[in-house]
Structure 1
Amino acid sequence: MERKALLCIFFLLLPLALVSADIPVLNSINDLRNIEFGHRFPRHGLMLLHFISGGLYVDNNDALIPTFSPEMGDWGFHEFYNNEGVFPPLQDQNRQGYYAVGNINTPTAYPLYPYVTLSYYLTPGNLERNMDRLVVRTSPNSRRLEAVYITQHIRGSSEYDPYNTYQTSPALLREIRTLSQNRVDSVEVFLYAAGYNVDSRTFTWNCYATDSTYTVEDAGRMTLNESPAMMKGAVVNDHHTECYAVVLQVKSTESGYARLGWANVPDSLLDVGVMLALFNKDGNHLLSLSLDMRSYGTYDTNQYLNHGLQVKLLSKDGSNVIMSGPQYDDADRKIPVGIEGYDASLQLYTKDGNACARLFISKTFTDWKNDFYYSWVGFYSNHNDASYSYYTHEYAVSFTKQDDTNIKYDIYSYVSSLSIQPGAQARFFFTKTYNNILAKTKPWER
C-alpha cells in the first residue's frame, strides 16, 4: 500500500519535473520571432528583455555579469520562490536564488524606463498589459548570473505559464546588447528584428476623437480582436491621434519641487481642449493645468518631489483620462552604486524634495559599523563641486535602519537638508579625509 502511494505521488510530480527540466533555449534574436512572448501591444516582454539585456555584460567565456543587483531589488527585482516548479530546483538554497522582474503594478517597478511601462499606462483594464516577466538565477559563488529566463503569466491568472517559458542563451543576450549599443533607435530596431507586431499598437492611436466616445480607457478594456473594429468609428473624420508618441513626465526643479513636462500632444486633442494633471502615489489629484494650444512645454509646481507622482492627460472637463505618464521613481531611476571593496552600496533619492541617501549593507557584513566607523556621506548640489565643497554630510553609522524587507541586505537611510536638484550627487568617503572616495552616485537628471 505504501509503495502504491509513493508511485502515485511520483507520477503526479513527474509532469512538473519534466516541465522544469526541459526549458527550451533561445540562441538568437531570430528565435524570438517564433514565440508568443511580448509580441503584440500592450505586452511589454520584449521591451523588458531589451532593457535588462542593456545591464548585462557577456564575457568571452559566456559568463553573465550584471551591472545591477537582483538581491538588492534593483529595477523592481524581487525573490521568486518557484513554487510552481517552472524552473529547475536550486542546488544551493542558501546561496542561490531566483529573482523576477516585470510586474509594473507595484511601486518597486517605477525604476523601469518609460518605454518598458508605456503600454501598461496606455491600456488600463487590459488583461495582457502586465503578463510578461523576466527571471534570473543567481550564482552561489559570485555576483554573476547562472541563467536568464523569459516567461509569462497565464492570461487572466497569476500563475506562470510553463509552456511559454524559455531560457535566453549568452549568445542571444550578447546579440541584443550589441544591436543596442550606440543607437538612438535601438529599441525599435530590436523590436523589428524580434518580430514585434507594430500594427497591434494602432488601436491606441485612436485614443480620442471629436466624434467618438471611445478613449484609451475604453480601448484598454477591449480585447485585441475587438479593438480595431470598435475603434473604426473613432476615425471617420480622421481626427485620430498618435498617443503612443505623447510624452508626459515629472522632473526636478532647482529647489526640490516637481517640474511637469509634456511633448507631442496632437493638434486634434488641443483643438477640443485638454488639461494636464498631477497625482500622488495614492491617486489624489494635486493640481491641473490647461494646455491651451501648447503641444509641448514644462511647468514648475509647488509640489515637493516624491515617489509615485504621476502626470495624466485629461479631457477638458477633467472627467476622462486620455493617457498617463510613468510614475516617478524617488531614485531618479538610478540603481545603487557599489562601495568599492565592500558588499555595500550607496543610492541617492528624494523625499519631500530633499536629497537623501540609502546604504545597502549585506547581512553577512556584520562588522560594518567598525569598518565604516569614520566613513561619511557628503551631499553636493553639483556633481562638479570639489569634495570639500559639500552642502552637508552625515556619518554612515548614524544612518537610520529601515524596515527589514530585504532578505539579503539591511537598508539604512538619511534625509539631508539639501534640496534635490539637477546635478546633485552623494559621495561615500571611507575616512575623514576628502581623497578616499569609495562611491559616487550618478548626477541627478534634469
Structure 2
Amino acid sequence: MKWKTILCCFFLCFTWDENVASPRIFKSIAELKNVADSFCYPRHGCKLLYFAAHKIFEKNLHLYKNVDPRRGDYGFHSFKNHEKILPDPSSGYFSMGNLNSKGSSQLDPYVMHDFYQITDPRRNMDRLIVSLSRDSELSRMFLTAHHLKKNTFDPDQTIEIAPKLIQEIQEIHDLLQYLTELGYKFGDGEIDCIIRNFSGRPKRTAVNLETKCNLYTEVKLDIKSTEKGYAKITWEGIPDKILNTIAYIGLYKNADSENALVKVNSPVPKSGASPTTIPLNPGLQLRLVKYDTVNGINRHTPFLNGSEFDEANRVLPTEIKGYSASLQLYTKDGYACARLYIEKSFTGWKKEFGASWVGFYTSNQDNFDKHKQRELCTKFTLILNKEEDYAIDYDIYEYQSKLSIGPGVQARFMLNDDKGSEKARTVSWEAP
C-alpha cells in the first residue's frame, strides 16, 4: 500500500484549481492584431497598452523611477482577483484604466479623449493589470474588460501581454503608426480622432484619414493658470473650415456640468488665450461649442470636449531622497498646495522629519531662503483615504498655502534649516 500512498501524494501535489483562468499569451503586434478590434475604439485597451509601454515601463521593463502603482499613480488600484480571472501571483496585482477613478486624470489626453467625446458604455470597460517583482520589474501584464451588464470581469475578454510585446510597442513612437499596425479600421470611422456631426455621434461618411486626424490633432484645448491662480482658457489650431461655425469656447466646472462658468464668444481666432476669474480647481473642463440648426431651430452643440483638469497638472509626486516618502505640488481653489505620501512602513517619520518643512517658491531659481511660505511637515493634515484599494501602503498628508498657484511655482522639501538639506524639489508649475 505504500506505493499507493506515494502515488496519491503525487497527484495531490500536482493538482490545480480548474476555476483559475489561463489567458492566452500574445507575444507580438502581429498576434495582437487578431484581437485588436476587441480593445480598440470605442474601447481604450489599445491605448492603455501604448501608454504603459511608453510612460510606465522602461526598456528593461522596470518601472520608471518616478512611477509607483502602490501610491495610486495614473489611477492604479490594488486588484484582488476575487473572480479568479488570473493566476494568483506571489506579489499581488495592480489595475489601471478606470477613467472614473481617482488618479486617472494623470493619463495622457489621447487615453482620455474618447471618454469625453462619446457616451458609449464601452468607452470605459477595459483594464490593464500588472504584477511586479520585488525590484519593480514587470512580472506579468494582462488586458481585461468589465461585463457591460455586470460588475464583474470577463474571462473571455482577458489576455496576457508578453514582455517582448511591450518592448516591441516601445520601439513605436507614434500613436497613429501603432494603431495602424494593429489594423485599426480607420475607413469606417472607428478611430479616436473623431469628427462629430451635429447629433453628437461620429460621422460615418467617407472622410480622408489624413483630414480626419488633422482636424482632431490640430485642435488643442488647455487650461492654464494666471499669475493669481485663476483659470486661463487657451486654444490653438482651430481649422479655418470650422472657424465660422464656432459659437463659443466654454469653461465648465466638470464633465457633468451643463452650464458654462465663463465663455469666450464668437468670433474666436484660430489660436488664443483668455484669462478668467475662476479659481483653478480639479475637474475644470473646456468645450468647443458649435452652432447647430435642426428643423429650423438654432442651438449650440459641443464639438470637442477637453479633458478634466488634473489637480497636479498631470505631474507625479517627487521622491524625497533617502526616505520612503514623496512630495507633490497640486492646486485647490487657485492656491499652491503640497501633499506628502508617507509609506506606512516608515513608522518613525514624525521623529525623522521633526524639523523638516516644505517651502513654496515662485521660481526654480529662488534661493532656499526665498520661499514665499513654509510649513513644518508634522503640521500637515492627515487625509482619510476612503478607497480601500487606493494607495493602501501610504498615509497621505496635505497642506494648502496662501500662495496663488501660477507658472513657475514649485514646492521643496527641506530636512532642516541647513541650506544643503534639500531632499526634494517638484517640477515647476507649467514647466515646458
TM-score normalised by L of structure 2: 0.84
1:194 aligns to 2:194 (yes or no):
no
Name the CA distance, whole Å, in 2 between partners of 1:415 and 1:67.
23
1:118 aligns to 2:113 (yes or no):
yes
CA shift digits 1:227-255 (9 cap, x unpaired): 62xx58x99xx999934643222111222
Name the CA distance, whole Å, in 1 between partners of 2:75 and 2:35.
25
Name the CA distance, whole Å, in 2 between partners of 1:351 and 1:203.
31
CA contact (8 A) 1:205 1:244 kept: no
In the TM superposition, residue 272 of structure 1 has moved relative to its aligned partner by: 3.1
Aligned to 1:6: none
Aligned to 1:291: 266
Name the CA distance, whole Å, in 2 between partners of 1:255 and 1:201.
42
1:152 aligns to 2:145 (yes or no):
yes
Q: Between 240-249 and 311-320, report the one with greater CA deviation.
A: 240-249
Q: Between 25-34 and 35-44, report the one with greater CA deviation.
A: 35-44
Name the CA distance, whole Å, in 2 between partners of 1:128 and 1:46.
13
Give the alignment of 1:38-437 within 5 angstroms.
40-58=40-58, 67-91=66-90, 96-123=91-118, 125-139=119-133, 141-155=134-148, 157-180=150-173, 186-199=174-187, 200-201=189-190, 205-208=194-197, 214-216=198-200, 218-219=201-202, 228=204, 242-243=215-216, 245-281=218-254, 283=257, 285-316=260-291, 319-405=300-386, 406-437=391-422
In the TM superposition, residue 148 of structure 1 has moved relative to its aligned partner by: 2.0
Q: Which amino acid aligns with 2:370?
A: S
Residues 442 and 30 of structure 1, relative CA distance in 2, 3 Å threshold: farther
Name the CA distance, whole Å, in 1 between partners of 2:192 and 2:176.
19
In the TM superposition, residue 122 of structure 1 has moved relative to its aligned partner by: 1.5
Residues 33 and 67 of structure 1, relative CA distance in 2, 3 Å threshold: farther
Residues 274 and 84 of structure 1, relative CA distance in 2, 3 Å threshold: same
> Any idea what SS the aligned residue of 2:169 has?
helix
What percent of counterpart residues are identical?
A: 35
> Any idea what SS the aligned residue of 1:242 has?
helix
Residues 367 and 37 of structure 1, relative CA distance in 2, 3 Å threshold: farther
Identify unmatched segments of 5+ residues in structure 1: 1-12, 181-185, 209-213, 220-226
> Any idea what SS the aligned residue of 2:106 has?
coil
Aligned residues: 401
| RMSD between aligned residues | 2.9
Q: Which amino acid aligns with 1:375?
A: S
Identify unmatched segments of 5+ residues in structure 2: 1-15, 292-297
Residues 85 and 135 of structure 1, relative CA distance in 2, 3 Å threshold: same
Q: Which amino acid aligns with 1:215?
A: S
CA contact (8 A) 1:256 1:305 kept: yes
Name the CA distance, whole Å, in 2 between partners of 1:190 and 1:437.
42
1:16 aligns to 2:19 (yes or no):
yes
Name the CA distance, whole Å, in 2 between partners of 1:97 and 1:367.
26
Q: Which amino acid aligns with 2:74?
A: W
> Any idea what SS the aligned residue of 2:429 has?
coil
TM-score normalised by L of structure 1: 0.82
Name the CA distance, whole Å, in 2 between partners of 1:342 and 1:14.
41
CA contact (8 A) 2:360 2:374 kept: yes
CA shift digits 1:145-172 (9 cap, x unpaired): 4322222223455432222222222222
In the TM superposition, residue 347 of structure 1 has moved relative to its aligned partner by: 0.4
CA contact (8 A) 1:70 1:78 kept: yes
Aligned to 2:423: 438
Q: Between 398-407 and 35-44, report the one with greater CA deviation.
A: 35-44
In the TM superposition, residue 296 of structure 1 has moved relative to its aligned partner by: 1.9
Q: Which amino acid aligns with 2:281?
A: N
In the TM superposition, residue 270 of structure 1 has moved relative to its aligned partner by: 2.6
